[in-house]
């Protein structure tokens, strides 16, 4: 569920694979997974736009250990020397095909590193566009993904006109994590945590201010949802 807090191991367990590579196209044929970070020292320039409803995700470099000594000055590869597509190439092709209507947009689960060992599940995004552009040194891939409501059941085909969704900004998540000391505000539990909107977004609550977001464990999150219903 979107806004859950996970460790790296929990994340890999959920996806049934090591997510070391950061970009993982077509896992089990049902969806893709990307890891993002907007931290100042992050290796790639990912950014959230349009009030947190759009993710612009940077493609990935030549892998370490290849013949390249500094991957940051080399064009990001779309294919391997053998000609088969890299992860950049696979996401790019899917995005271009979605753009022309040749296929439905790929559903992508996005996980965000908010600090060392702490990840947040940012929910389902649709891969709707991609391009290549020049940075200071070389050509990089860019992918445009749209945060959408629901779509968590991967066995059901994606809907045609999904409802847009807003991701809680990273700075807000960090502030809440520190303020609540990484614990459920109700019981102090430190596992299965969730960033909860005190006043739900659907009822006019904001996700842009830490004052309206708190940490709840799964039990208290569900209890609150039931109470609201």
The residue from 186, 198, 200, 206 that contacts Zn ion (CB under 5 A) is 186
The answer for residues whose C-beta is within 8 angstroms of residue 109's C-beta and 6 or more apart is 15, 31, 32, 33, 34, 121, 123, 124, 125
Could you tell me if residue 72 is left (phi over 0), alpha (psi between -120 and 50 degrees) or otherwise beta? alpha
Nearer to Zn ion, 76 or 120 (CB): 120
173 binds Zn ion (CB under 5 A): no
Choose among 127, 85, 129, 89: nearest CA to 110: 127
Calpha distance 79→108 (Å, rounded) = 21
Nearer to Zn ion, 12 or 189 (CB): 189
167 binds Zn ion (CB under 5 A): no
The residue range among 15-23, 35-43, 49-57, 184-192 that interacts with Zn ion, by the rule CB under 5 A, is 184-192
In the complex, the smallest distance separating the C-beta of residue 177 from Zn ion, rounded to whole angstroms, is: 15
Contact 207, 166 (CB under 8 A): yes
In the complex, the smallest distance separating the C-beta of residue 189 from Zn ion, rounded to whole angstroms, is: 5
The residue from 42, 102, 187, 223 that contacts Zn ion (CB under 5 A) is 187
193 binds Zn ion (CB under 5 A): no
Looking only at residues 60 through 79 of this chain, which bind Zn ion when binding is defined by CB under 5 A? none
H/E element, 175: helix 170-179
In the complex, the smallest distance separating the C-beta of residue 51 from Zn ion, rounded to whole angstroms, is: 30
223 binds Zn ion (CB under 5 A): no
147 binds Zn ion (CB under 5 A): no
Nearer to Zn ion, 21 or 189 (CB): 189
Calpha distance 69→65 (Å, rounded) = 8
In the complex, the smallest distance separating the C-beta of residue 202 from Zn ion, rounded to whole angstroms, is: 22
Nearer to Zn ion, 171 or 187 (CB): 187
In the complex, the smallest distance separating the C-beta of residue 113 from Zn ion, rounded to whole angstroms, is: 24
171 binds Zn ion (CB under 5 A): no
- Please give the structure tokens belonging to residue 138: 């070389």
Q: What share of the chain is helix, strand, coil (3-state, %, to 5)?
A: 25, 30, 45
189 binds Zn ion (CB under 5 A): yes
Could you identify the residue written with the tokens 């949802």?
A: 225
> What string of DSSP letters covers 207-222?
SS-GGGEEEEEHHHHH
Site residues (vs Zn ion, CB under 5 A): 184, 186-187, 189, 217, 220
């Amino acid at each position: 569920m979107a806004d859950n807090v996970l460790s790296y191991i929990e994340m890999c367990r959920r996806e049934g694979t090591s997510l070391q590579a950061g970009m993982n196209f077509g896992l089990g044929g049902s969806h893709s997974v990307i890891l993002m970070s907007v931290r100042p020292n992050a290796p790639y320039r990912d950014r959230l736009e349009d009030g947190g409803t759009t993710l612009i995700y940077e493609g990935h470099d030549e892998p370490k250990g290849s013949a390249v000594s500094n991957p940051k000055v080399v064009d990001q590869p779309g294919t391997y020397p053998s000609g088969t597509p890299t992860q950049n190439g696979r996401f790019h092709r899917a995005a271009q095909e979605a753009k022309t209507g040749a296929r439905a947009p790929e559903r992508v689960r996005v996980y965000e590193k908010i600090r060392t060992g702490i990840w947040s599940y940012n929910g389902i995004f649709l891969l709707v566009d991609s391009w290549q552009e020049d940075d200071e040194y070389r050509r990089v891939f860019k992918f445009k993904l749209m945060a959408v409501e629901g779509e968590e059941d991967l066995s059901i085909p994606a809907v045609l006109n999904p409802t847009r969704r807003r991701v809680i900004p990273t700075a807000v998540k960090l502030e809440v994590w520190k303020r609540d000391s990484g614990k459920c505000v109700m019981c102090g539990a430190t596992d299965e945590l969730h960033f909860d909107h005190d006043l739900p977004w659907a009822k006019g609550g904001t996700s842009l201010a830490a004052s309206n977001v708190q940490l709840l464990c799964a039990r208290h999150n569900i209890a609150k949802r039931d109470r609201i219903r």
